[in-house]
Amino acid sequence: MGEPIRALLERHYRAWSTGDVDGIVACFTADATMEDVALDACFEGPAGIRAMAVRVLSAMAGLEWTPARICVDGDVACTEWRMTGVHRGDLPRIGPGTGKPFSVAGMSIAEIRDGLIHRHRDYWNLGTYQQQVGTSTSA
């Protein structure tokens, strides 16, 4: 029953991992929102999601966003994932590129409408990422 949603989300994460910006945007409805809770940022519609994807992919070399578990309940799905790569460019709330690798676990909630992602929220630990890439300001 949840196989079409599972396939959509697997396609979404594969597009991120292959740097396919068009593929990322194609997974969303025309009025979609993508929210990054750790960065306190929200991106709306194809243009907003595209701009965010271009910026993230240019700042994270070798990005791999790998789902470990996808759970589907009706038109809502939850994914447990791991994001890995190298921090090479400036990102808001993270800082300038350091060339250091990162591996961060996180979770996403996706609301599906008409076979596409309508609302997507990512939850992950910004402090862990900053410590790994060397941009943390805490001791």
Supply the CATH number for residue 34's domain: 3.10.450.50
Question: What average pLDDT does this structure show over 97-122?
Answer: 97
pLDDT at 93 over 90: no
| Domains held by the chain: number | 1
> Is position 125 within any domain?
yes
| CB-CB neighbours of 66 under 10 Å | 13
> Is position 138 within any domain?
no
> Is position 18 within any domain?
yes
Say which range, 27-31, 89-93, 114-118, 134-138, has the weakest mean pLDDT: 134-138
What is this structure's pTM? 0.93
Tell me, what's the pLDDT at 110?
A: 98
Domain extent for 26: 3-133
Average predicted confidence (pLDDT) for the chain? 95
- Residue with more model confidence, 90 or 15: 15
> Is position 139 within any domain?
no
First to last CA, the chain: 48
- Residue with more model confidence, 110 or 137: 110
pLDDT at 139 over 50: no
CB within 8 A of 111, min separation 6: which ones? 75, 76, 117, 118, 119, 120
> Is position 115 within any domain?
yes
> Is position 128 within any domain?
yes
